[in-house]
Amino acid sequence: MKLFKKQARLRRATKFRAKHAKKDIERLCIHKTAQHIYAQIISSCGTKILASASTLKAKLKNGGNIDAAAKVGEAIAKAATSAKVKKVAFDRSGFKYHGRVKALADAAREGGLDF
């Protein structure tokens, strides 16, 4: 059966979260829309948000491009170091790893996060 794009993305996200729920590690969870990208570091139990960054907080002129995603990656890395988080699991929320998602991940790695 062919799945629609959103259904396939949510299926991929559910598989990742089920696999990593047993591990005791924080998650770098992202969400993207056409105009903005958001990143949060969620505690290992899934109840607390330790750090967050988005294109809304950065007040960028255009939040839907690769440059904006890289700036959000840098911001989330700074927020993570201030929250004393070094190692995270990269939860893409089912989005494919290219474009803005890859730019955010690369910038966060350069900022000091270990995936």
The span from the CA of 105 to the CA of 108, in Å, is: 5
Supply the range of the domain harboring residue 65. Answer: 24-110
How many domains would you assign to the chain? 1
In a domain, 40, yes or no: yes
pTM: 0.84
pLDDT digits (tens, 9 = 90+) for 42-97: 998 888 999 999 999 888 888 889 999 999 999 999 999 999 999 999 988 889 89
In a domain, 72, yes or no: yes
The span from the CA of 58 to the CA of 71, in Å, is: 8
In a domain, 70, yes or no: yes
State the CATH number of the domain containing residue 46: 3.30.420.100
pLDDT digits (tens, 9 = 90+) for 8-45: 888 888 887 777 777 788 999 999 999 999 999 999 88
